[in-house]
């Protein structure tokens, strides 16, 4: 079976890799460099499993800049293009998704469109009415950055937003490529599937915000955050996971998904959803204030990335904290080896690690790595599970 994938970010490339084990998969993207890398079995994103599979596994996968080549004769076309949140319209920018849909419609081909991009609640219903089509459904993904293929190989669940034979077939395609055997599959209507995605990520953001606010309380009152978290997480109803304090939630999904869900709540009573969004802003302001209390001349930012083994720093919380410090006229330098320039936005990059340590009066690190442990006396972090 031929399957096309539009978009080769971590969602699209992980799905393409998964399905290419058992199907002909053609990936479409508008970035030539990414296309060339994929065709040379090199991953354009940092993901251990994707890198391994592209290099070492037998995959029926190729990539192209020509969407017609990709889409022609494809039984399923998976759309995984970016949908960034637009603060002006208070909604996801779904223009890239709609552009792919219009191209498919113009080709007049017999196919089923599966949206994997994160979309507002009600998007599929609106698209069906707007373009008078029925060959489209939504199937949310639940992937961690840097672990996208792993999470497709060992999925927590598969959800498809349609109750039909083609939905069953598509779910089985995902299941066939997985290593995990006992996978829960749930079929819903499209609007419910869209809500599942946004509510799931918002709950994760709630958990992050809760432990961050716990940590703020402990820090201000000079209490041992780790002891408190360890104690409450012994309750099996709470569980010992997703509980390491940070500078705030960030990354590809949580910031935009929480804002989109809050926008979907327009004219609907709520307290918790709006509090999750505002709590993240409050956390970042608190972190900035605690850094300032050290009276530093030069503040060193150790890594812009969200977590270890990641090359993503889009919407990372540290960037908002840097902006607060910049507005208060503090000198801020950055150590970020994934950047090959001398500056990033308004900030100087110092990628000589020893020089960076020497220049910094305070080193701000969301997560501690071995290479900076010799400067622990300078480090400001809320990472309570620092590796020994």
* Catalytic sites, residue numbers: 253
Residue 85 · residue 92 · CB < 8 Å: yes
Sign of CA dihedral 8, 12, 18, 20: negative
Q: What are phi and psi of 78, to 5 degrees?
A: -95, 125
Which tokens belong to 334? 């950055």
β-pairing verdict for 347-349 and 185-187: unpaired
Residue 372 · residue 388 · CB < 8 Å: no
Give the Cα separation of 199 and 55 in Å (integer): 36
Give the Cα separation of 272 and 34 in Å (integer): 40
Q: Which residue has the tokens 């622990």?
A: 376
Length of the chain equals 388
H or E element: which one contains 22?
none
β-pairing verdict for 347-349 and 343-344: antiparallel
Closest CA to 15 of 41, 40, 49: 49
Q: Which residue has the tokens 């849909």?
A: 101
Furthest-apart CA atoms within the chain: distance in Å = 65
The whole-angstrom distance between residue 9's C-alpha and the CA centroid of its chain comes to 10
Give the Cα separation of 292 and 272 in Å (integer): 30
- Residue 58 burial (10 A CB sphere; 0-12, 13-18, 19+): exposed
Give the Cα separation of 259 and 255 in Å (integer): 6
């Amino acid at each position: 079976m031929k399957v096309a994938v539009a978009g080769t970010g971590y969602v699209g490339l992980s799905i393409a890799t998964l399905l290419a084990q058992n199907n002909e998969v053609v990936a479409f993207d508008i970035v030539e460099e990414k296309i060339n890398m994929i065709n040379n079995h090199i991953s354009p994103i940092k993901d251990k499993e994707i890198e391994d599979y592209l290099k070492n596994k037998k995959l029926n996968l190729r990539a192209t800049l020509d969407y017609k080549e990709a889409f022609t004769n494809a039984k399923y076309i998976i759309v995984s293009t970016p949908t960034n949140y637009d603060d002006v319209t208070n909604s996801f920018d779904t223009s890239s998704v709609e552009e792919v849909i219009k191209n498919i419609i113009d080709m007049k081909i017999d196919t089923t469109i599966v949206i994997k991009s994160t979309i507002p609640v009600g998007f599929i219903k609106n698209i069906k009415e707007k373009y008078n089509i029925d060959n489209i459904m939504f199937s949310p993904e639940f992937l961690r950055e840097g672990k996208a293929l792993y999470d497709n190989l060992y999925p927590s669940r598969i959800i498809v937003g349609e109750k039909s034979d083609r939905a069953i077939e598509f779910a089985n395609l995902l299941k066939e490529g997985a290593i995990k055997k006992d996978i829960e599959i749930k079929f819903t209507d499209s609007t419910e599937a869209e809500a599942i995605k946004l509510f799931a990520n918002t709950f994760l953001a709630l958990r992050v915000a809760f432990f961050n606010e716990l940590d703020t309380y402990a820090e201000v009152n000079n209490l041992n955050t780790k002891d408190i978290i360890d104690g409450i997480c012994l309750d099996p109803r709470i569980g010992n996971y997703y509980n390491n304090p940070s500078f705030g939630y960030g990354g590809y999904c949580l910031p935009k998904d929480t804002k989109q869900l809050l926008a979907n709540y327009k004219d609907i009573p709520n307290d918790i959803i709006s509090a999750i969004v505002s709590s993240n802003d409050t956390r970042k302001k608190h972190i900035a204030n605690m850094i300032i209390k050290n009276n530093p001349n030069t503040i060193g930012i150790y890594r812009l990335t969200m977590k270890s083994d990641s090359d993503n720093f889009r919407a990372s919380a540290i960037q908002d904290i840097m902006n607060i410090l910049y507005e208060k006229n503090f000198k801020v330098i950055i150590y970020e080896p994934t950047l090959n320039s001398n500056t990033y936005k308004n900030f100087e990059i110092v990628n000589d690690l020893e020089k960076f340590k020497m220049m910094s009066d305070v080193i701000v690190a969301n997560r501690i790595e071995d290479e900076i442990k010799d400067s622990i006396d300078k480090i400001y972090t809320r990472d309570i599970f620092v590796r020994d």
